[in-house]
Amino acid sequence: MKIIGIGNALVDILTQLDNDDLLKELGLPKGSMQLVDAKKMALIQEKSKDLPKEKASGGSAANTIHGLAKLGVETAFIGSVGKDDTGKFFEEDLKNSGINPILFYSDTPSGIASGMISPDGERTFGTFLGAALELSADKLQLQHFKGYDLLHVEGYLVQNHQLLERILILAKENNLKVSLDLASYNVVEDNLEFLRSMVEKYVDIVFANQEESKAFSGKEPREALDFIAELTDIAVVKLGGKGSLVKQKEKVVVIDPVKSTPLDTTGAGDLYASGFLYGLAKNMNFKKAGFIGSLLAGTVIEVMGAKFGEDKWKEIRKRII
C-alpha cells in the first residue's frame, strides 16, 4: 500500500516550560492549538527566547507520513512552504526520510508551530500558518493523488472548507481510502457540522483523542466511538495512558497502552496513526495494528518533539516487521 499525506507544512519549534505561567501570559489554553498571526508569533518567540528549544519539521499529517516512511511504506506529502530557509529545512527533511515531496512554493514565510511543553508533558501550540495557508483548492489536481492507495489528511485543514472538500473529492475520484485525524478539539468545535458531513460522505478511517471525540459527538469515549462508527468505516478513539478503542460495524477492539514515561506528548497521536495505518497496510488485525500505534506513541512521548532517533526505529522494526 502506498500512502500520501496532506496538511499544513510546518516547522516545529518546541520549548520546554518550567511551569504554565507563560501559557496564561500569552493567552494560550493549555493543550490546545491556537492559530496566531506574525505579531503573536514574534511575541511567543521573544517571551520564550531563554528557554531550551528544539527544531524539527512538523505538522500533524507530515508527522504521520514520516512515521510510515520510517516503517518502510512508500509515501508522499503535499503541502505549501515559503521560499526561505524554513521551507528548505522542511523539504530536505522529507527527502532525507524517503518521502516524495509534492510542495507548492510561496513568497510568504513558511509556517511555524511554536509548541510549548508543560512539565507534565502536555503540549500547547501557537501556530503561524504562513505559507502553509496558501495550499488551496485550485492548486490541487487529480494527478497529485494518482498511484496511491490511501490518503491521510489532518483535521486542521477543515478550517478551509473548500480545500478539504476538494481534497476528499479528488481522493475518491482516484479510488483512495481516506483517513482523517480530527487534530484538535477546538478546531472540531468550530467546524462541527461541516466536519461531520465530510466524514459521512468521504472518510473511511477517523482518528480522535478523548477531547476531540467528545467535541465531535458530545459524548464520552465509549459512546463517542459508537457515534463516529455510525458515520465511517473504522473509528479509533485514543485514550492516552489508558490505550485506545477501535470499532468497525459491530466489532469493538480494546487496545492496551504501551507503558512509557512521558516527557512530551507532541506527536503521540500522529505516530499512533502511523502505526495503525502501517498495520492496515500489512493486512494485520486491529489488535496488532493498534499495538503498533501504541508502541510508536509510547516511544515518541519519551522524547522531546514528534521524532525519535534511528536506534529506536531499529528496535521497533525488529519487533513488528
pLDDT, tens digit, 9 for 90 and up, residues 149-188: 999 999 999 999 999 999 999 999 999 999 999 988 999 9
In angstroms, the first-to-last Cα distance of the chain is 15
Q: Is residue 25 part of a domain?
A: no
What is the Cα–Cα distance from 173 to 12, expressed in whole angstroms? 33
pLDDT digits (tens, 9 = 90+) for 255-298: 999 999 888 787 899 999 999 999 999 999 999 999 999 999 99
Q: Is residue 116 part of a domain?
A: no
Q: Is residue 16 part of a domain?
A: no
**If DSSP codes are grouped into helix, strand and coil, which group holds residue 172?**
helix
Q: Is residue 38 part of a domain?
A: no
Q: Is residue 199 part of a domain?
A: yes
Count CB-CB contacts under 10 A for residue 102: 17
**Residue 144: in which H helix or E strand, if any?**
none
Q: Is residue 126 part of a domain?
A: no
Q: Is residue 266 part of a domain?
A: yes
What is the Cα–Cα distance from 127 to 115, expressed in whole angstroms? 8
Angle at which helix 268-281 crosses helix 286-300, to 10 degrees, equals 150
Q: Is residue 192 part of a domain?
A: yes
pTM over 0.85: yes
pLDDT at residue 146, rounded to an integer: 96
In this structure, what CATH number is given to the domain that contains residue 80?
Answer: 3.40.1190.20
Q: For residue 240, what are the domain limits?
A: 3-8+58-103+135-320
- The count of domains in the chain is 1
